[in-house]
Structure 1
């Protein structure tokens, strides 16, 4: 069985607005990873470890951006705005289709 590796947020579909891409973005928000780290080539176990760190970072805020302190809220707004703009430029559409 071949191990799968993450392509990295810059090569992820939908401009990084996927489950794994959001883990990377949230890791940037909380300072778990520098924004220069795209996680390209990371194994499933590395991504799982990152997920666990991000999950723990969100816990004090009930996983809600509205409960983040002001500095983290601003980072959240900035980073997600940038990613959403990239995703839109690559054809991502926030509207749900009939099959979604």
Structure 2
């Protein structure tokens, strides 16, 4: 059986606006991985391990960006604003339609 390999945050459908991409962006916010790391080529087990680290990092803040200290809140805002802009430029539409 072949292990499933992650395509990388910049290669994902929907302009990278997926739960897996959010794990990666949050890992960037907390400095768990560098912002240059796209996780391309990672196994699902690697992504799962990253999820655990990200979840632990969020724990003290109740998983709410509004509770982050100023430096992390600014980094979070910057990373997510860039992600939304990039996704919209790639054709992502956050509006739900009748099939969603």
Q: Which runs of 5+ in 1 are unaligned?
A: none
- 1:18 alignment partner in structure 2: 18
- 1:64 alignment partner in structure 2: 64
Q: Under a length normalisation based on structure 2, what TM-score does the superposition of the two structures give?
A: 0.96
Residue 89 (structure 2) pairs with residue 97 (structure 1)? no
- Detail structure 1 runs of 4+ shifted over 6 Å in the superposition: none
Q: Which runs of 5+ in 2 are unaligned?
A: none
- Aligned residue pairs, count: 100
Question: What is the alpha-carbon distance in structure 2 between the residues aligned to residue 62 and residue 36 of structure 1?
Answer: 27
- 1:75 alignment partner in structure 2: 75
Aligned-residue Cα RMSD (Å) equals 0.8
Question: What is the alpha-carbon distance in structure 1 between the residues aligned to residue 99 and residue 63 of structure 2?
Answer: 27
Question: What is the alpha-carbon distance in structure 2 between the residues aligned to residue 59 and residue 99 of structure 1?
Answer: 34
